[in-house]
Structure 1
Amino acid sequence: MPSGVRITFRTDAAGFAFRYAARPAHEMPGPPENPQVDVRVDGKPVASLPLVTDQGIHTCHVGSLPGAGAGRLVELWLPCLNQFTLHGVEVPADAEVSADTTSAPRWVHYGSSESQGRGALSPSRNWTATVATELGLDLTSLAIGAGCYLQPLFATLLRDLPADLITCMVGINIYGTRALNQFTYRPNLIGMIRIIRERHPSTPLLIASHHHSPWHDPLKGDGYLSLVEVREQTREVVELLRADGDENLHYVHGPSLAGPETAHLYVEPRHLDPLHFNQEGHDLLAAAFRRKVEELVPGLART
């Protein structure tokens, strides 16, 4: 499930084709996902191509690419929520093809299903992809639906990857499955941050909590952590470590990104436990998160 993954190359070809195999997305509450590959040329959207998900090998043809010249940058944004295998990219025999050697600030993000792409209409319109595109960042997504539990495995990945910005949107899976409690959440979050800091001692690190949920925010913990308490403990951990000298660590309050006014922007009907934004919600979240990055890490964006 290659969330955030792009295939990039420069070419003067008028068109190209790619071969792939894909599985259908897992069944989830609400409307099904429609797996697609997005094509962009020089940063501008050209096509969103629906995929056949019968696990057989299929070919997609992309023609009439805009622009001209060998320096034209082609990007394939791969699907977020279904298993996908790229078997090859084909261009005409007389076409010029070269690697994209440009560099951009590296952004590594860790999160759950909304960060992975649930609810976005296509992979390059996921909120993380939008932020990366608008700020000129090279995105590596470590978001995994129903799997954001502050695992040491992900902490070491975040530690070991090159990064100019690291962000984590945490808490919703832990709240939803009661995976950690009032005694274990804080030390596990501290442990993840400490592991990251072993090789990224001063890299800007933003820890965000989940945005407002009109259905979950009012609920009490009933012996477990409520969503409000998860946010409070997340803030406490960041404030504790900042007081200990980690000035490049920042807390981003989820409801400041998307508050009660977004209650109508979910893909799931209310009776199906709505948790994931639709495309309008992804756009709103992207705009709010971009502003936070610009505020907390000025000068990061590529110009």
Structure 2
Amino acid sequence: MLEAGRLIRANDPVLTYRGAVSLQEVDGGIAPWRIPFQERHLFFPEGGVGRAAMPTGVRVTFRTDAEGLAFRYAARPAPEMPGPPETAHVDVRVDGKPVASLPLVTDREVHTCRVGALPGGSDRLVELWLPGLNQFVLHGVELPAGAEVGRDTHTAPRWVHYGASESQGRGALSPTRNWTATVATELGLDLTSLAIGAGCYLQPLFATLLRDLPADLITCMVGMNIYGARALNQFTYRPNLVGLVRIIRERHPSTPLVIASHHYSPWHDPLEGDGYLSLTEVREQTREVVDLLRADGDENVHYVHGPSLAGPETAHLYVEPRYTDPLHFNQEGHDLLAAAFQRKLVELVPDLVRS
């Protein structure tokens, strides 16, 4: 058991919230947001603001010689979705190695979660990877009496990713096993995830956020939400995607920008558009936009064809029950998608990532 000792409050500057865009003080704790929380209702005027308060990809990091620790938190339940329910976890890594994946209580009350013995030397880098599909408030980190603690100051190439619910982590068993987290860990990238379940529609405010965040690599996996909600059509999808890229380029004129279409979907790929864009047509128009931008002189924008990442052979790797509406990969699918996306990044931006 961890002896009573020092409490590091959630707003203590010794804690770094990597992957967070803004931090909100809530009832004595800190809620990490992936948009500027003061402007949250401008980002989601139609509702669904809380999706950006689900801290997928966010890590609370610090250095310590403590032999054990605990953290205080409050978490909300994940939203109801087709398929099996999600279980909230915090994953603990020490010096980059997994130590524990801890299930959380999601009743909105403050709880304490204890971590066992921490391996490694006297100056360990501790990372607490927060849940991807639950709103979360950190109320502090408990360390044994006399333990030293310091700020995490390491640097790595900064990767900003924009996507939908699968990028947010639906179907992954824990935060570090989300495909984006796996890619970031394997390639040594500092991830900021702007993945918003049921909210990836090429909105102008997300374009300006992608523009304004520091980034050495920007990736977008687009199309499924637009197709599913019939949000854009054959006249509006291409100009909106062009606009997204041109806004990003205002402050990232030469940053590698990789735009991927959605991978194969066994339920949706065979369907025709019936007056709207089919998933196949969305992919075709995505490729056309990237070709157009490259022809216009943007040599650092790249297209990745979704089915080349995961094709029909992956039709059984979904969390939703068979014969329903399979949209989200299970853990095996996340692992496959991570490996395929990682290979593409090594191919397209070899000078940035470690292979």
Residue pair 1:186, 1:234 contacting (<8 A) in 2 also: yes
Distance 1:286 1:237, change over 3 A: same
Which residue pairs with 2:285 in the alignment? 233
Where structure 2 has 5 or more consecutive residues not aligned to the other structure, the ranges are 1-53
Q: Deviation of residue 90 (structure 1)?
A: 1.3
Which residue pairs with 1:79 in the alignment? 131
Distance in structure 1 (CA, Å) of the matches to 2:131 and 2:61: 15
Counterpart mapping for 1:12-161 below 5 A: 12-69=65-122, 71-161=123-213
Aligned AA for 1:11?
T
Structure 2 residue 326 is matched with structure 1 residue 274: yes
SS at match of 1:10: strand
Which residue pairs with 1:265 in the alignment? 317
TM-score between both structures, scaled by the size of structure 2: 0.84
Q: Per-residue displacement from partner, 1:25-63 (whole Å, max 9, x unpaired)?
A: 000000000000000111111111000011100000112
Counterpart mapping for 1:219-230 below 5 A: 219-230=271-282
Structure 2 residue 294 is matched with structure 1 residue 242: yes
Residue pair 2:156, 2:189 contacting (<8 A) in 1 also: yes
After TM superposition, where is structure 1 displaced by more than 2 Å over at least 4 residues in a row? Answer: none
Aligned AA for 2:288?
E
SS at match of 1:299: coil
Q: Per-residue displacement from partner, 1:246-273 (whole Å, max 9, x unpaired)?
A: 0000000000000000001000012320
Structure 2 residue 237 is matched with structure 1 residue 188: no
Distance in structure 2 (CA, Å) of the matches to 1:28 and 1:5: 22
Q: Deviation of residue 302 (structure 1)?
A: 4.8
Residue pair 1:30, 1:272 contacting (<8 A) in 2 also: no
Give the % identical residues: 85
Give 2:266's match in structure 1, choosing from 214, 229, 232. Answer: 214
Which residue pairs with 2:44 in the alignment? none
Structure 2 residue 328 is matched with structure 1 residue 289: no
Give 1:162's match in structure 2, choosing from 199, 211, 214. Answer: 214
Q: Tell me how many residue pairs correspond in the alignment.
A: 302
Aligned AA for 1:165?
L
Aligned AA for 2:128?
L
Distance in structure 2 (CA, Å) of the matches to 1:272 and 1:123: 26
Which residue pairs with 2:19 in the alignment? none
Distance in structure 2 (CA, Å) of the matches to 1:223 and 1:302: 44
Residue pair 1:205, 1:250 contacting (<8 A) in 2 also: yes
TM-score between both structures, scaled by the size of structure 1: 0.99
SS at match of 2:323: helix
